[in-house]
Amino acid sequence: MRISDLADLSAANLWKRKLRTFLTVSGVAVGIGALVSMISFGKGMQENVTKNFRELALFNSVTVFPGSSRLEGHDPDVPSSRPGTRALPSDPVLDDEAVRSIAAIKGVEWVYPDINFPALVGFNGKEELRLVQVIPAKALASGMFKLLCGRAFATDEENSALVSPSFLRTLGFKEPREALGRSLKISSLALDIGRFDLSALSELRGLPISREDHEFTVAGVTQDSGFGGPNPFQNDIIIPSGAAAEIKRLPFNSVWDLFRMSERKGGGYSALNVRLVSPAHIGAVKDKARGMGFATFALADQFSEIQRGFIYLDMVLAAVGMIAIFVASLGIVNTMVMSILERFREIGVMKAVGAGDRDIKTIFFFESFSIGLIGGALGCGLGWGVSGLINQVVNFFLAKQGVPYMKYFAFPLWIFMGAVGFSVMVSLVAGIYPARRAAKVDPVIALRHD
């Protein structure tokens, strides 16, 4: 038999039962559409994270911590209870001297200490307790920090602040631009030995702490990171390092830090953010820093693990899509079996005029193939369309929260080709039983059939 004849026979048979064909093809299209959407979502997430890593220069960033015994690969954001992950009293201090030493390592572009402190932030007639993050002007100008509106710091000494959109929303701002140029008060808590009163302290009536107020002007509004990547702005309020040096403050952010203070000699920073000239220097810089007695952490090292995580995510998403495909394949089996029953006599006639078992099998396989091909192609369109719609709806709502527009679904060509190929494969598998059954039809019985 010629392929053109198979196509003609298949088209004629499917067209003869239009509604049933439409329903079966729709089932396949929905299944493939679900699979395409799921996989493209996983792929989109992966692309967004990779893009985010690149934009934030995380491939050429290293974080340096005090304590050489900190285990490699440990997430510094999560306090660990594992023994050997804490800085020991014998470890060197991460102080300004350490900052200078690390900045002098070949391949280091710039270094700034990770400084956060709690403060009462007075803005727009309200006061909120927030952590204030200190970022030098040079780092902000590097391109890894993005602003929604306004400008970054021109110098480290200016009394300017950057605020987050979520902070502005909390304070009732509808338009972030309205906050620009307005005055913001940062009130820190400082140790005041003059107020030290041992008797009051023993009765827990008060601590030797005083409040210091500092005026800042809002220069810009930070941009929230989209879904799928780390945000370099950890806190709602950002101030430059020079201005931050003027603010007296307690050297801890939480009770956790109080416990850790006893382990550190002479204070020092909790971490240093190190930006490299290129990712090629990561290994050498880490080795040098470790040689100085510090621990290091590079997100780039974690990227392969993140990618492995995405493979698991893809598998889970694909498994969900597979369920839809499985249901659709049952629809194909049902349609083809019904087709055998309806065309029982016709199969007998075909055999009587010279069709072999193989011809009959091929005819039924080709019909399954056609359902898979058409359903797969329509499913790709459906998946693409629905994903696009979901993307628009999600962006519409997230835009209200200041999240920049993002493509949450990615559609590389291989997704469409793979989906159609998979649809055809599933359809052919679904067609095995009906095709075999059709081929086994006894022509003598079929020709007597009414």
Partner 1 sequence: MSGIQTKKLTRVYTLGKVQVTALDGVDFSVEEGEFIAVTGASGSGKSTLLNLLGGLDTPTAGVIEVMGRRISTMDKEELARYRRFTVGMIFQAFNLVTARTALENVELPLIFAGVSKKERRVRAAGLLEKVGLSGRRSHRPFELSGGEQQRVAIARALVNGPRVLLADEPTGNLDSRTAGEVVRLLAGLQRDQGLTVVMVSHEQALAREYAGRIISLMDGRVQSDGVTP
Give the residues lining the site for partner 1 (CB under 8 A).
1-2, 4-5, 9, 12, 16, 345-346, 348-359, 443-444, 447
- Tell me which residue of 39, 143, 18, 9 sits closest to 413, measured CA to CA: 39
Give min distance, CB of 442 to partner 1, in A: 8
Give min distance, CB of 448 to partner 1, in A: 8
Please enumerate in sequence order all residues whose Cβ is within 8 A of that of 144, keeping only pairs 6 or more positions apart, or say none: 55, 56, 57, 232, 275
Give min distance, CB of 29 to partner 1, in A: 26
Structure tokens at 65: 């911590």
One-letter identity of residue 54 = R
Please enumerate in sequence order all residues whose Cβ is within 8 A of that of 315, keeping only pairs 6 or more positions apart, or say none: none
Nearer to partner 1, 185 or 345 (CB): 345
Give min distance, CB of 3 to partner 1, in A: 11
Asked if 366 and 10 count as a contact pair (C-beta separation under 8 A), the reply is: yes
Nearer to partner 1, 294 or 364 (CB): 364
List helix spans (H) across 17-164.
Answer: 18-55, 96-103, 137-140
Walk across the sheet containing 294-297 and list its strands: 108-113, 272-276, 61-66, 294-297
Please enumerate in sequence order all residues whose Cβ is within 8 A of that of 154, keeping only pairs 6 or more positions apart, or say none: 137
Give min distance, CB of 31 to partner 1, in A: 29
For residue 353, the 8-state DSSP code is T
Give min distance, CB of 359 to partner 1, in A: 6
Nearer to partner 1, 5 or 175 (CB): 5
* CA–CA distance, 162 with 179 (Å, rounded to integer): 10
Give min distance, CB of 419 to partner 1, in A: 32
* CA–CA distance, 184 with 178 (Å, rounded to integer): 13
Nearer to partner 1, 301 or 346 (CB): 346
First to last CA, the chain: 28
Give min distance, CB of 20 to partner 1, in A: 15
Nearer to partner 1, 267 or 356 (CB): 356
Nearer to partner 1, 1 or 320 (CB): 1
Give min distance, CB of 357 to partner 1, in A: 5
Give the CA-trace dihedral at 8, 9, 12, 14, to 10 degrees.
-120
Nearer to partner 1, 355 or 377 (CB): 355
Nearer to partner 1, 175 or 442 (CB): 442
At 248 the three-state DSSP class reads coil
Nearer to partner 1, 55 or 357 (CB): 357
Percent of the chain as helix, strand, coil, to the nearest 5: 55, 15, 30
